[in-house]
Amino acid sequence: MNPIDTLPKQLIENARIYRNRVALREKEFGIWQSLTWAQYLERVRNFALGLHQLGFARGDKVAILGDNRPEWVISELAAQSLGGQSVGIYQDSTPEEVLYIADLVAVRYLVVEDQEQVDKVVEIWDRLSRAQAVIFYDPKGLRNYDQEYLKPFPEIENLGHEFQQANPTFFEESVSKGRGEDVAIISTTSGTTSKPKLGQITHDNLFAMAKGMTEVDSFAVDDQFVSFLPLAWIGEQMMSMACGMYKGFALSFPEDTHTVRADLREIGPHIMFAPPRIWESMVSEVQVKIEDADRLKKFLFNRAMKIGYRIADKKFDRKPLTAVDKAQLALARVFVFNNVLDQLCLRYIKWGYTAGAALGPDVFRFYHAMGVNLKQGYGQTETTGLCVIHRDDEIKYQTVGKPFPGVEVKTDDTGEILVRGPVCFSGYFRNEAATAETITPDGWVRTGDAGYFDDDGHLIVIDRAKDVMTLQDGTRFSPQFIENKLKFSQYIKEAVVFGGDWPYVTAFINIDFANVGKWAEAQQIAYTTYTDLAQKSPVYDLIRKDVERTNADLPSAARIQKFLLLYKELDADDAELTRTRKVRRGYVAQTYHQLIDGLYSDLDSLDIESVITYQDGRTATIKVNLRIDKVNP
């Protein structure tokens, strides 16, 4: 019997074992529609054979562009079943970003969701060197498109079904040719410094990650998981495709990006994986609602959180809980926490995970105070997602936990974190130079992150190695650590801290437009746009309090002495953030060098003229007098 060493082989096995159990669930027109494992396999088989009829051959690539839907994962598995690979492209990518990835990989087929994504491909079609067909799975608005290369998803499935009738063994024979060392997916890196590189992830990598994850936490076939983060991200591939396929639990897809919260609440997931920005935004939501609550609710919440923090800290310190602790915690859950967690869709969470960037300790403690089993992990595309994670009984909010079973992690003489083991990728696609820089001759992957191990063997990640700064007095500090402490405020959405080559620490801050706007309305402060609101004196006073709160927890040399509120939000479309919302620090420093110079001058304001781009593509030139605020360190 052939080993189950590829995702399509695991699909066939799951369809045999769990034939009539739900494998995929999608909400459509307000109703959850389900696919069993047997139906899932049938659709993958039909689509794979349809691609074969179009000319798909072993080694070919399929690019997938769209929101999380059953067709996304069906397309990925179909390509793998034929000995090919899929490359996911973020759904909010610009046409030029789609062109860069699709042309670099030389994709022959693009599977896209809807008219919006079709339009992107139509715009760049003449510049795609090898593309032969665009297959769409939401036909709304496409009736009058007459390009010959556009093909509906069901049409390809029908082609495959017809081929299956005449060739009943072809699919299984094709799947059996796959091997664990074959590349399964080509995944984009975060690209914090330049255009993203493309990591080649094998089936062996995906299974090694899934096995390591499930050895630490015992996922079961009955667990619920909602796939709402981009499947182009290695973190979602890790949970939805690797762990989901390996353990056989069902994937649920939200109806729309705007209904995610409601759909999460209906499913009541047991497992949730999200980057820090999502966990931070939920904290901000709770903080804003408590600010608006009546005195009794505010008193109960604050009292419950005081109990929760005390008990969470005891658990962190691995101290036993007294009978009084347990009784108080039970009351806090009944009267406060259960209701709050229900609103956040976290009431039934067994395991919550975060990775992709550091999560501030304040945010981490907040969730544990409410009883959410939130764990920090560490990894990157090059390690197939997570390779270090907290254990249930060893959670330390300053760390990211211990390595997976079978994975080696160490730091070199410079403090850079190195990883070796079966989760490590096979190299970058068509980039031998970058591969040689990243993978050492003895198999260690250089992560580019700085860190160290504590006395208990837990890994502590400081920051990107290139971002760790040395102040004028020799103090080493992590800008990301300060940024995370700032973002604990419900009024701060993003922050970029500068220091290092400069004599003191300064910061750019993006206000949270919704939360600050709500606060301004309550204070009867009139405003028109984001730019207008960000430059109001009362808003600067509001944000200064959070900067001072952050400074209180920092050594004197690392305290922020000046800050300004940016006149626009940092945006991935402007290349200031990656698609996973990591700050491209070097690009921001280069783009806003005039503002940085102002922060380190004697000026108290700057006259700025800048071109901004709206979501619909329109541009406008704005002129603003940008205030620079000083803080007593």
Domain map (residue ranges) of the chain:
7-270, 276-347+349-410+450-465, 468-630
**Is the predicted pLDDT of residue 193 greater than 90, yes or no?**
no
**Is the predicted pLDDT of residue 114 greater than 80, yes or no?**
yes
What are the tens digits of pLDDT across the range 35-90? 999 999 999 999 999 999 999 999 999 999 999 999 999 999 999 999 999 999 99
Of residues 217 and 501, more confidently modeled = 217
Give the span between the Cα atoms of 519 and 522, in whole angstroms. Answer: 5
544, 628 contact by CB (below 8 A)? no
Torsion over CA of 20, 23, 26 and 32, rounded to 10 degrees? 40
40, 111 contact by CB (below 8 A)? no
pLDDT for residue 2? 65
- Computed over every residue of the chain, the mean pLDDT equals 92
- Using 50, 70 and 90 to split pLDDT, how confident is the model at 611? confident
60, 79 contact by CB (below 8 A)? yes
Mean pLDDT of 318-329: 93
408, 424 contact by CB (below 8 A)? no
Q: What is the 3-state secondary structure (H, E, C) of 92-149?
A: CCCHHHHHHHHHHHCCCEEEECCHHHHHHHHHHHHHCCCCCEEEECCCCCCCCCCCCC
What are the tens digits of pLDDT across the range 478-521? 888 888 889 888 899 999 999 877 888 999 999 999 899 999 99
Give the span between the Cα atoms of 471 and 220, in whole angstroms. Answer: 49
- Using 50, 70 and 90 to split pLDDT, how confident is the model at 379? very high
Give the span between the Cα atoms of 367 and 339, in whole angstroms. Answer: 14
How many CB atoms are closer than 10 A to CB 500?
A: 15
**Is the predicted pLDDT of residue 194 greater than 80, yes or no?**
no
Of the candidates 379, 350, 356, 354, the residue with the CA atom closest to the CA atom of residue 364: 354
Greatest CA span in the chain, whole angstroms? 79
What are the tens digits of pLDDT across the range 250-277? 999 999 888 898 899 999 999 999 888 8
Give the span between the Cα atoms of 564 and 534, in whole angstroms. Answer: 9
Options 2.60.40.10, 1.10.540.10, 3.30.300.30, 3.30.420.40; which CATH number does 468-630 get? 3.30.300.30
pLDDT for residue 291? 84
pLDDT for residue 191? 59
pLDDT for residue 581? 72
Exposed, middle or buried: residue 359 (CB in 10 Å: 0-12, 13-18, 19+)?
buried
222, 465 contact by CB (below 8 A)? no
Give the span between the Cα atoms of 428 and 443, in whole angstroms. Answer: 14
How many CB atoms are closer than 10 A to CB 174?
A: 18
In Å, how far are 248, 256, 362 from 253, measured between CA atoms? 16, 9, 31
Model-level pTM?
0.85
pLDDT for residue 575? 78
Mean pLDDT of 144-173: 96
Q: Which amino acid is at 629?
A: D
**Is the predicted pLDDT of residue 197 greater than 60, yes or no?**
yes
Of residues 239 and 191, more confidently modeled = 239
Assess whether the region 7-270 and the region 468-630 belong to the same CATH fold. Answer: no
DSSP letters along 319-330, please? Answer: PPPPHHHHHHHH
Of the candidates 346, 330, 336, the residue with the CA atom closest to the CA atom of residue 278: 346
Torsion over CA of 438, 440, 442 and 443, rounded to 10 degrees? 0
DSSP assignment, residue 574?
G
Mean pLDDT of 584-590: 85
Topology (CATH level 3) of domain 7-270: Rossmann fold (3.40.50)
**Is the predicted pLDDT of residue 534 greater than 80, yes or no?**
yes
288, 515 contact by CB (below 8 A)? yes
What are the tens digits of pLDDT across the range 559-585? 999 999 999 998 877 778 877 677 888
What are the tens digits of pLDDT across the range 392-416? 988 988 899 999 999 999 999 888 9
Give the span between the Cα atoms of 304 and 336, in whole angstroms. Answer: 7
DSSP letters along 471-485, please? Answer: -TTS-EE-HHHHHHH
Of the ranges 360-374, 421-435, 451-465, 594-608, the best mean pLDDT one: 421-435
**Is the predicted pLDDT of residue 359 greater than 80, yes or no?**
no
Give the span between the Cα atoms of 89 and 49, in whole angstroms. Answer: 23
**Is the predicted pLDDT of residue 633 greater than 70, yes or no?**
no
Q: What is the 3-state secondary structure (H, E, C) of 38-95?
A: HHHHHHHHHHHHHHHHHCCCCCCEEEEECCCCHHHHHHHHHHHHCCCEEEEECCCCCH
Q: What are phi and psi of 309, to 5 degrees?
A: -65, -40
451, 462 contact by CB (below 8 A)? yes
Give the span between the Cα atoms of 388 and 358, in whole angstroms. Answer: 13
Q: Which residues of 229-258 are buried (b: 16+ CB within 10 A; e: fewer)?
A: bbbbbbbbbbbbbbbbbbbbbbbbbbbeee
- Using 50, 70 and 90 to split pLDDT, how confident is the model at 1? very low
